[in-house]
Structure 1
């Protein structure tokens, strides 16, 4: 079986597992009454989504784990990526559990999330700098040079990983947005992993792609389930770990441009309001700005998917 065939197999397997788990898990979430609460200050069109089951990220995490662990491409790198995915997913799960089960709207405090995220990120950074042949070097896209960050490597990797996870979390605000963007990004990384000879990482990317595709069956507009912080944190941790272990950290802001545009919009909005009392956007994150300008939710999602596809093509050219 060729590597390309194996990746297609992992995509299909993860996709089917997700499709099977959806009708089983979603009714359970309904019975547990783990419904999403919608912010009053958000777009009024979102109020009808109140009560939609959340924590659906458990479906994707399960599909990814089962698929990768049975793929025949299990090695140390795969375990590290799974560790990052599950650990970030666990942080999100605890946050969701506090919010929707214990009915404490704020969930984990910001510093509690950060402590957990930074701890996991440090483990990944230390692993990569100690085990990888690249050491503390990172590849710079477009010029294809390696820069040695030395003692700055670990804090840099920690910053990137935490930023990516939280950026994906902010992106998860419209039906199918985060799942669709991550599907495209993970498909991109699966192609890169195959070409660079990272068979186990390619298998993981295939499983991630299939899980996102399957989840869209239930999460596309109108969503029957939301991934919650459980899913968005897991996806962010996964994408960051994939790029880090292939020494392609600087590709994340390129191919994941939508993630960072969403995060940047929040930073700019908060900073502007605190300094001047004025808002730059009608609402942040960025997807809500376009909604309030009159775009339909589905239009925003499709446009953001399309931009991600273009950015991934740019990412491919940056490696040539």
Structure 2
């Protein structure tokens, strides 16, 4: 039944995307080139609307109700996010209004019971209970991941592809854990996204816009909470690693703006995809490289879920080191920000002098 539902969602997305493209052009929901953007011509956006409608169709077929999960609040929150994205794609609303829509959507699912109540720290054999901070932390997580996916939506097929890899990983691990709801909803959203990706991969015929990027980020943030809520060892560590590409890109963007003494909300052209393009990679090569990075994080998460405590510690250390080295190599903060490379040089120089 799930396979049939996924096929229906995929075909619905394939059929709906050209219609959404015409609708976007008709209402003026288009993306115009500027100095921050890579594309050189006016492009229709709003493609996320096709993903959303296909997802709703899949939900109507599968009806993945669960007494313990706030199904309707999740769909209501997704609807609020999509409405926010549609208005932004058409009218380019202010960041404050956009944030308000995200907070409202997050508030709906939190009220429905989707909450991060604790974090497990396996190294210290301890659990941090959030208590009164449960709602603020959950809100921060949902809004943070929603915007992290939105930030990487800078190249044809990038956000859709990375989100698909994340959804595959979350759904597969949820299947192993017996979480039927996340498996069903994750598969439905994955199929809907892949149908859209046919038109969005380079050279793109339509952009997903904030409608799609915010929707994918919002749903992934919710799935990551529900999918790993029952894990007693790694809790929030697994989704953080699975979402390694958007989270690390966002964190380095924050560091970059602090180092360069710029406002955190200031836009720039120094995200991961911008840096790879500056290194000489083509548009398609850059997207495929970031896909590979996302797959690396996904594999690391799967290995982590099946590791011993010390094995998990080693995996996390390697992931952090590789992330830092890549960030320094591509100049994600700045060309001169290379603390780990400089440390290696000092150690190497010291070793030569000793010899």
TM tier, smaller:
0.7 to 0.9
Q: Which has the larger radius of gyration?
A: 2
SS at 2:280 equivalent: coil
Distance 2:174 2:19 in 1: 33
Aligned-residue CA RMSD in angstroms? 2.4
Query: Following TM superposition, by how much is the alpha carbon of 1:8 offset from its aligned partner in structure 2, in angstroms?
Result: 2.9
What CA distance in whole angstroms lies between the structure 1 residues aligned with 2:12 and 2:119?
Answer: 35
Partner of 2:204: 223
TM-score when scaled to structure 2? 0.76
After TM superposition, the score normalised by the length of structure 1 is: 0.83
- In structure 2, the residue matched to 1:103 is none
Match of 1:57 in 2: 48
What is residue 278 of structure 1 aligned with on the other side? none
User: Aligned ranges for residues 166-177 of structure 1 at < 5 Å?
Assistant: 166-177=147-158
- For structure 2, list consecutive stretches of 5 or more residues without a partner in the other structure: 230-234, 263-267, 307-355
2:289 corresponding residue in structure 1: 303
Q: Is the 8 A contact 1:77 1:245 kept in 2?
A: no
Q: Structure 1 residues 124, 185: CA separation in 2 closer, same or farther (over 3 Å shift)?
A: same
Contact 1:10 1:203 in 2 (8 A): no
Secondary structure at the aligned position of 1:39 is classed as coil
Q: How far apart, CA to CA, are the structure 2 residues paired with 1:314 and 1:82? A: 30
Deviations 1:166-215 (Å, cap 9, x if unpaired)?
Answer: 11111110000000000111111111222222222211100111011111
SS, match of residue 108 in structure 1: coil
Given the alignment of the two structures, is residue 238 of structure 1 paired with residue 238 of structure 2, yes or no? no
Residue 11 of structure 1: aligned partner: 6
Say whether 1:29 aligns with 2:24.
yes
Paired residues, what number? 293
1:140/1:24 CA distance change after superposition, 3 Å: farther
Equivalent-residue separation in structure 2 for 1:159 and 1:126 (angstroms)? 15
Flag as ranges the 4+ runs of structure 1 deviating above 4 A.
Answer: 139-146
Output the CA distance in 1 between the equivalents of 2:20 and 2:150. 21
Structure 1, gaps ≥5 residues long: 1-5, 99-106, 276-281
Alignment of 1:141-152 (within 5 A): 146-152=127-133
Partner of 1:198: 179
| CA displacement at 1:11 relative to structure 2 | 2.5
Structure possessing the higher relative contact order (Cα contacts under 8 Å, 6 or more residues apart): 1
* 1:304-319 map, 5 Å: 304-319=290-305
Could you say which residue in structure 2 is the equivalent of 1:283? 269
The reply on whether 1:155 has 2:142 as its aligned counterpart is no
